[in-house]
């Protein structure tokens, strides 16, 4: 057991505690960025002028009519930018564009004494557009070879030989839609120039340091002139990792130029039409199986729908490529990736960060090929699991594969899967118009930022003379319980009661140069940093104590009078990881998080409507730091994944009509996410036991993202239920999301009312449908972090 992971007796970590702000949440006393408007005098409100075109040159912007609207104070345009007119880190996101790239793209922003004045003013701004051709759908972009950024390749072995040696070869296409984050709190910023002359921006941001950098470069200031604070967020899910920067910069620009605080809060419609979402993906694949159904080779080309700019599309794609294996050993692999450029919102991070999309490809393949192989999908998945000593296609040995096997066995046992699958068969035989399915799927998800440099964190821990403790760390709270865990880590390390410790809001002037609260790794990183800071203080206190066993308060007081430093800056860097993006190989992940879900569904053959009857989950969080928080993450992630796969249905107008490029599901009434009615009647969640993780803080594992992918069980159960409408042994293609309509059409095909229903899109044999093989001279990924690390002489 490592020092990092070793847990003392009577640890505060491991206790099932409610969220540290729960009492504030339930009473409405918890403050979010936009709640501060009402305590900030003389605030100006910002409203965007949005493009109605998916792609157009901005020929003229005339703000005079807007300025004549009572209450309008100023209109912010490109001419006002003192620094760099760019809201991204790749210089492809002009804050005030001269070419609009999607419907909703903000051309300029109107500031008003009231939101109403700003809104009316925005409507009065005259903009002349010269429309340009637009590419809206992913398949249009693929056909037009309209790509952006690097084109990574993950390769191992000889895929042609692997396919040639296979008993069965299948090929096909898998498409999956994106997903709107629909955090309940839309993007919000509140900026002012404070009494010290610094630009102070409160922002709903998962990445305050990057928001700070963007605000600074837009304003033409050094970072030390700008402070960004995030109190808490009403959900983030990745949607506030890169997207907040431009909004914060607009608010800050307005504050600097007018001398008044500026509030920018997006309406739900603006949030949905202006900000990025989970990437939809298109995958072409060929796969080989041996006599026993073991995977021999996989070739695939994954194309993500990046939208108009890159932002995080390259790392999302990299993670997709690194998860196309999910839990399965595949000897020969060749996976190409590319990012399509479309005239839509710039798609971005979303819980799982490409991992879910990569994993869906292999789960779709197994689900569609199992009937053609004549192998029960439960067996097919299980027999392809990694075993000890095997490595992923990018070269990382899979540690603790037996834990996944243990979780699998536990789900089969606790979920009574064998007996219930027999019951499902009986039910299906008796019901021509209603069918059930029960599927079991695994999750293996790599933890750490792929890009090594981001795997660092800082913390600042103060012990005051009265013995109370204040902690700051670089992570942001968005509901995931990070602050709760950090309090538990600090109390455990210092050996003080939880009530002694308070966590302060995240601010860039407390802990600088932080990484995004993302990649599920914030507890690992910030927990390591908090623990380090606490240990520094504790070591000094122990010297003072000199074995006397003084009470905490007494010890602290004595230390102060002995002129001993009672605060410390902690730092943590994840050891033992390395990654080469150019080669797409290395050891990018500190460890893998595992999980297994079994789901039983029922489909109504008349409508395609479906219900999830029961779900059994065993998930691996290591030694849980905070079981109530962790179970909440598992359940919430699972339901969010079910939403992505079965309900949430982003639609863009792909017609040639005047609405081309418009998001047609831009509100809560047209974009549906799971409600209480989608909660399975029975949802059993267990945390895997004997799961100590030696390489992470107090033996825990990350939990934010991996459970989302447990939802594959629901999608696969739907596939099996749909298959039950048709003859045995037929493959079923299921659209993603598997909305009632999609399920209905799949059932119609299964019922044989369309041709070719036995293969349903799967091609058998060689050569099959060979995936596109992008130009070998296409650019690789070259992230800044690796270039910098190399320049500094690191591996």
Partner 1 sequence: MPDPQVTVNGQPRPLAGTPTRTNALDFLRGLGLTGAKEGCAEGECGACAVMVARPDGAGSRWTPVNACLVPALALDGQEVVTAEGLGTPERLHPVQAGLAAAGGSQCGYCTPGFACSMAAEYYRPDREAGPDGFDLHAIAGNLCRCTGYRPIRDAARALDGPAPADPLAERQASPAPAAVPTRVDGFARPADLAEALTILADHPDAVVVAGSTDWGVEANLRGRRASYVVAVDRLAELRGVSTDGPVEIGAALTLSEVEAALGDTVPLLGEVWPLFASPLIRNGATIGGNLATASPIGDLAPALLALDATLLLASTTGDRAVALADFFTGYRETVLRPGELVRAVRVPTPLAAHTTFRKIAKRRYDDISSVAVAAALDVVDGTVVRARIGLGGVAATPLRARATEAVLEGRPWTQETVEEASLVLAGEGTPIDDQRASAAYRSAMLGNALRAWWDEEWDEGERQ
Residue 497 is classified by DSSP as -
Whether a cis peptide bond, with omega within 30° of 0, leads into 660 is no
Nearest-approach distance from CB 621 to partner 1, in angstroms: 15
Nearest-approach distance from CB 234 to partner 1, in angstroms: 3
What residues contact residue 544 under an 8 Å CB cut-off, 6+ apart? Answer: 555, 558, 559, 562, 564
Q: Which is nearer to partner 1, 216 or 724 (CB)?
A: 724
Angstrom distances, CA of residue 592 to CA of 433, 477, 696: 41, 23, 12
| Exposure b/e, 696-719, CB count within 10 A at least 16 = b | bbbbbbbbbbbbbbbbbbbbbbbb
Nearest-approach distance from CB 542 to partner 1, in angstroms: 36
Determine if 795 is a binding residue for partner 1 (CB under 8 A): no
Query: What span, in angstroms and rounded, lies between the C-alpha atoms of 233 and 33?
Result: 8
Query: What span, in angstroms and rounded, lies between the C-alpha atoms of 306 and 308?
Result: 7
Torsion over CA: 140, 142, 143, 148 (sign): positive
> Out of 42, 91, 573, 651, which residue is the one contacting partner 1 (CB under 8 A)?
651
Which of 279, 267, 341, 310 lies closest to 87, judged by CA? 310
Nearest-approach distance from CB 736 to partner 1, in angstroms: 14
Nearest-approach distance from CB 754 to partner 1, in angstroms: 12
- Window of 456-464, 475-483, 725-733, 783-791 that interacts with partner 1 by CB under 8 A: 475-483
Query: What span, in angstroms and rounded, lies between the C-alpha atoms of 617 and 708?
Result: 12
H or E element in which residue 437 lies = strand 434-447
> Out of 15, 30, 67, 778, which residue is the one contacting partner 1 (CB under 8 A)?
30
- H-state helical runs in 478-521: 482-494
Q: Which is nearer to partner 1, 430 or 791 (CB)?
A: 430
Asked if 328 and 362 count as a contact pair (C-beta separation under 8 A), the reply is yes
Determine if 206 is a binding residue for partner 1 (CB under 8 A): no
Whether a cis peptide bond, with omega within 30° of 0, leads into 767 is yes
Determine if 40 is a binding residue for partner 1 (CB under 8 A): no
Number of residues that bind partner 1 (CB under 8 A): 80
The token pair at 214 is 């963007």
> Out of 7, 15, 25, 375, which residue is the one contacting partner 1 (CB under 8 A)?
25
> Out of 481, 570, 588, 595, which residue is the one contacting partner 1 (CB under 8 A)?
481
Q: Which is nearer to partner 1, 116 or 388 (CB)?
A: 116
Query: What span, in angstroms and rounded, lies between the C-alpha atoms of 732 and 377?
Result: 13
> For residue 107, how far is the Cα from the chain centroid?
28
Q: Which is nearer to partner 1, 132 or 673 (CB)?
A: 673
Which of 705, 743, 719, 609 lies closest to 365, judged by CA? 719
Half-sphere exposure of 739 (CA within 13 A, CB side): 12
Determine if 185 is a binding residue for partner 1 (CB under 8 A): yes
Nearest-approach distance from CB 65 to partner 1, in angstroms: 16
Q: Which is nearer to partner 1, 125 or 333 (CB)?
A: 125
- Window of 399-407, 502-510, 635-643, 763-771 that interacts with partner 1 by CB under 8 A: 635-643
| 230-269 residues near partner 1, rule: CB under 8 A | 232-235, 237, 267-269
The residues with which 99 forms a beta bridge, in sequence order, are: 57
| 741-760 residues near partner 1, rule: CB under 8 A | 741, 744-745
Query: What span, in angstroms and rounded, lies between the C-alpha atoms of 306 and 283?
Result: 14
Query: What span, in angstroms and rounded, lies between the C-alpha atoms of 356 and 189?
Result: 30
> Out of 23, 422, 425, 788, which residue is the one contacting partner 1 (CB under 8 A)?
23
Nearest-approach distance from CB 137 to partner 1, in angstroms: 15
Determine if 42 is a binding residue for partner 1 (CB under 8 A): no
| 365-394 residues near partner 1, rule: CB under 8 A | none
Neighbour order of strands in the sheet with 56-62: 99-100, 56-62, 126-131
The token pair at 317 is 């794609």
SS3 of 231, please? coil
| 392-421 residues near partner 1, rule: CB under 8 A | none
Category of 568 on φ-ψ map: left (φ > 0), alpha (ψ -120 to 50) or beta: beta
Nearest-approach distance from CB 274 to partner 1, in angstroms: 15
Q: Which is nearer to partner 1, 94 or 632 (CB)?
A: 632
H or E element in which residue 44 lies = strand 44-50
Q: Which is nearer to partner 1, 180 or 299 (CB)?
A: 180
Active site residue 210: no
Which of 307, 378, 300, 357 lies closest to 332, judged by CA? 300
| 587-606 residues near partner 1, rule: CB under 8 A | 604, 606
Q: Which is nearer to partner 1, 263 or 531 (CB)?
A: 263
- Window of 28-36, 190-198, 242-250, 782-790 that interacts with partner 1 by CB under 8 A: 28-36
Determine if 631 is a binding residue for partner 1 (CB under 8 A): yes
- Window of 98-106, 153-161, 508-516, 647-655 that interacts with partner 1 by CB under 8 A: 647-655
Q: Are strands 682-687 and 610-619 parallel, antiparallel or unpaired?
A: parallel
SS (H, E, C) 103-115: CCCEEEEEEECCH
Determine if 505 is a binding residue for partner 1 (CB under 8 A): no
| 265-324 residues near partner 1, rule: CB under 8 A | 267-269
Query: For 339, phi and psi rounded to 5 degrees?
Result: -115, 120
Please tell me which residue in 185, 363, 705, 733 is annotated as part of the active site: 705
Determine if 569 is a binding residue for partner 1 (CB under 8 A): no
CB-neighbour burial class of residue 694 (10 A; exposed 0-12, middle 13-18, buried 19+): middle
Determine if 612 is a binding residue for partner 1 (CB under 8 A): no
> Out of 99, 498, 609, 735, which residue is the one contacting partner 1 (CB under 8 A)?
609
Show the CA angle centred on residue 353, arms to residues 136 and 661, nearest 5°.
15
Nearest-approach distance from CB 743 to partner 1, in angstroms: 11
| 669-728 residues near partner 1, rule: CB under 8 A | 669-670, 672-679, 683
Q: Which is nearer to partner 1, 205 or 301 (CB)?
A: 205
Nearest-approach distance from CB 35 to partner 1, in angstroms: 4
The residues with which 174 forms a beta bridge, in sequence order, are: 283
| 423-442 residues near partner 1, rule: CB under 8 A | 430-433
- Window of 256-264, 280-288, 334-342, 736-744 that interacts with partner 1 by CB under 8 A: 736-744
> Out of 64, 562, 565, 667, which residue is the one contacting partner 1 (CB under 8 A)?
667
Nearest-approach distance from CB 678 to partner 1, in angstroms: 7
Q: Which is nearer to partner 1, 239 or 401 (CB)?
A: 239
What's the length of the chain? 795
Rounded to whole angstroms, the maximal C-alpha distance in the chain is: 86
Query: For 667, phi and psi rounded to 5 degrees?
Result: -155, 170
The token pair at 382 is 């299980």
> Out of 345, 640, 736, 785, which residue is the one contacting partner 1 (CB under 8 A)?
640
Nearest-approach distance from CB 530 to partner 1, in angstroms: 21
Which of 72, 444, 497, 475 lies closest to 254, judged by CA? 72
Determine if 613 is a binding residue for partner 1 (CB under 8 A): no
Q: Which is nearer to partner 1, 604 or 764 (CB)?
A: 604
| 103-142 residues near partner 1, rule: CB under 8 A | 116, 119, 123
Query: What span, in angstroms and rounded, lies between the C-alpha atoms of 585 and 394?
Result: 4
Determine if 480 is a binding residue for partner 1 (CB under 8 A): yes
Q: Which is nearer to partner 1, 545 or 741 (CB)?
A: 741
Q: Which is nearer to partner 1, 116 or 575 (CB)?
A: 116
| 510-529 residues near partner 1, rule: CB under 8 A | none
Determine if 654 is a binding residue for partner 1 (CB under 8 A): no
Nearest-approach distance from CB 298 to partner 1, in angstroms: 32
Residues noted as catalytic: 705
């Amino acid at each position: 057991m490592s020092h990092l992971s070793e847990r003392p007796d009577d640890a505060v970590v491991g206790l099932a505690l409610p969220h540290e702000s729960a009492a504030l949440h339930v009473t409405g006393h918890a403050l979010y960025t936009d709640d501060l408007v009402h305590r900030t005098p003389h605030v100006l409100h910002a409203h965007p002028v949005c493009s109605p075109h998916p792609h157009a040159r901005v020929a003229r912007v005339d703000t005079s009519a807007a300025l004549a609207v009572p209450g309008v104070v100023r209109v912010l345009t490109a001419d006002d930018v003192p620094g760099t007119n760019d809201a991204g880190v790749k210089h492809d996101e002009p804050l005030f564009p001269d070419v609009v790239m999607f419907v909703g793209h903000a051309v300029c922003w109107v500031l008003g004494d009231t939101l109403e004045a700003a809104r009316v003013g925005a409507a009065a701004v005259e903009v002349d557009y010269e429309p340009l051709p637009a590419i809206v759908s992913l398949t249009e972009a693929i056909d037009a070879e309209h790509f952006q950024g690097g084109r990574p390749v993950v390769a191992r072995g000889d895929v042609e030989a692997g396919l040639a040696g296979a008993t069965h070869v299948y090929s096909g296409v898998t498409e999956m839609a994106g997903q709107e984050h629909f955090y309940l709190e839309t993007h919000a910023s509140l900026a002012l120039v404070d009494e010290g002359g610094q630009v102070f921006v409160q922002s709903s941001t998962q990445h305050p340091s990057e928001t700070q950098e963007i605000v600074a470069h837009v304003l033409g200031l050094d970072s030390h002139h700008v402070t960004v604070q995030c109190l808490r967020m009403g959900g983030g899910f990745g949607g506030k990792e890169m997207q907040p920067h431009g909004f914060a910069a607009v608010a800050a620009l307005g504050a600097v130029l007018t001398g008044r605080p500026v509030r920018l809060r997006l309406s739900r419609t603006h949030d949905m039409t202006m900000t990025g979402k989970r990437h939809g993906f298109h995958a072409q694949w060929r796969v080989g199986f041996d006599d026993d159904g073991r995977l021999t080779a996989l070739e695939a080309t994954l194309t993500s729908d990046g939208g108009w700019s890159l932002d995080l599309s390259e790392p999302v794609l990299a993670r997709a490529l690194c998860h196309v294996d999910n839990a399965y050993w595949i000897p020969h692999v060749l996976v190409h990736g590319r990012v399509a450029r479309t005239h839509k919102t710039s798609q971005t991070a979303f819980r799982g960060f490409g991992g879910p999309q990569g994993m869906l490809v292999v789960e779709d393949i197994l689900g569609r090929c199992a009937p053609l192989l004549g192998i029960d999908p439960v067996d097919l998945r299980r027999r392809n699991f990694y075993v000890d000593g095997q490595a992923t296609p990018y070269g990382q040995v899979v540690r603790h594969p037996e834990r996944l096997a243990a979780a699998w066995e536990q789900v089969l046992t606790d979920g009574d899967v064998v007996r219930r699958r027999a019951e499902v068969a009986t039910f299906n035989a008796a019901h021509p118009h209603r069918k059930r399915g029960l599927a079991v799927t695994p999750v293996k998800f790599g933890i750490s930022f792929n890009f090594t440099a981001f795997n660092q964190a800082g913390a600042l821990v103060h012990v005051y003379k009265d013995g109370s403790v204040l902690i700051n760390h670089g992570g942001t709270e968005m509901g995931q319980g990070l602050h709760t865990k950090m309090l538990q880590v600090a109390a455990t390390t210092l050996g003080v009661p939880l009530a002694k410790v308070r966590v302060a809001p995240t601010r860039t002037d407390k802990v600088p140069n932080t990484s995004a609260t993302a990649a599920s790794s914030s507890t690992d990183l910030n927990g390591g940093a908090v623990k380090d800071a606490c240990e520094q203080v504790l070591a000094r206190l122990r010297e003072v104590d000199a074995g006397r066993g003084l009470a905490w308060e007494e010890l602290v007081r004595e230390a102060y009078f002995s002129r001993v430093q009672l605060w410390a800056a902690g730092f943590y860097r994840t050891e033992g990881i390395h990654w080469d993006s150019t080669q797409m190989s290395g050891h990018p992940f500190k460890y893998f998080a595992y999980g297994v879900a079994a789901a039983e569904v029922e489909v109504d053959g008349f409508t395609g409507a479906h219900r999830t009857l029961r779900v059994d989950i065993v998930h691996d969080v290591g030694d849980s730091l905070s079981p109530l928080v962790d179970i909440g993450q598992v359940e919430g992630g699972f339901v969010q994944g079910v939403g992505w796969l079965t309900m949430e249905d982003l639609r863009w107008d792909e017609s040639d009509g005047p609405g081309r490029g418009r998001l047609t599901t831009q509100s809560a009434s047209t974009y549906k996410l799971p409600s209480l009615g989608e909660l399975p009647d029975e949802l059993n969640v267990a945390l895997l036991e004997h799961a100590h993780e030696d390489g992470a803080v107090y033996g825990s594992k990350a939990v934010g993202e991996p459970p989302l992918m447990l939802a594959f069980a629901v999608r696969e159960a739907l596939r099996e239920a749909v298959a039950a409408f048709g003859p045995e042994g037929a493959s079923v293609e299921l659209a993603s999301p598997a909305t009632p309509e999609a399920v209905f059409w799949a059932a119609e095909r299964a019922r044989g009312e369309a041709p070719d229903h036995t293969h349903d899109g799967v091609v058998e044999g060689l050569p099959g449908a060979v995936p596109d093989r992008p130009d070998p001279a296409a650019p690789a990924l070259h992230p800044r972090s690796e270039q910098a690390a190399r320049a500094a002489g690191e591996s």
